[in-house]
Structure 1
């Protein structure tokens, strides 16, 4: 059995808390002390694992009384939620992020499993078959935005 790396461990810890409540407020230094790591490790985890594309809103306040607030966004089946997701699709979309965002749509019952699988197949590296990763990610982003736009008019 393979052990988790530190980033995975921190992510799991924060997600376990978020499973019990809608939002959490943390202090970087406290979490870093808890996991015996540097505070920049906490920044890395939050920046890469708690993104709008993955269904999170992150707010921070710097200074002595500073905090980082992580809110689990609830995707609703309405046009404003789809528009919010659309607004947060980057110009270059990695395949893994497309998978996570598609899973969010499925979990929120916005799309069926069959639709989700079709979306994933359409956006896969194998299907796109573009040698230039930058071009592939740009194409994937445009395709995902097209899917989101089509969902607004069901």
Structure 2
């Protein structure tokens, strides 16, 4: 069983409060997800984030095939971190940790995702050609969109 890790960091020139308010609001996921992903929240985004919150989405990650994705917010520490875990969806495992840290002149966002691809060895074979590039592309889109929304961090 192969478990992969995606690690991403980005600094933004905003306060930790502004970063938290944006990133912890599930409705903003659509804003930072490429349009071609067909991201649409079905339910669960009507309240501020809390442990136990179930959020249901539709995404079209590959070949324009709509896929239902259900995540649970399992941990929340105000203005510090939150964790979402897939309960149903395209991965065998999806555990996504979002960390925020105040830095001089802004905030550092850090994402650590541990994930497992379904379909055993076949999944492992397609990972470097389909899954990893797609995740990298999504996070690059997010990085650019956050700069567009909040500006470039200057040290």
TM-score with structure 1 setting the length: 0.26
TM-score with structure 2 setting the length: 0.26
Q: Which has the higher strand share?
A: 2
Larger Rg belongs to: 1
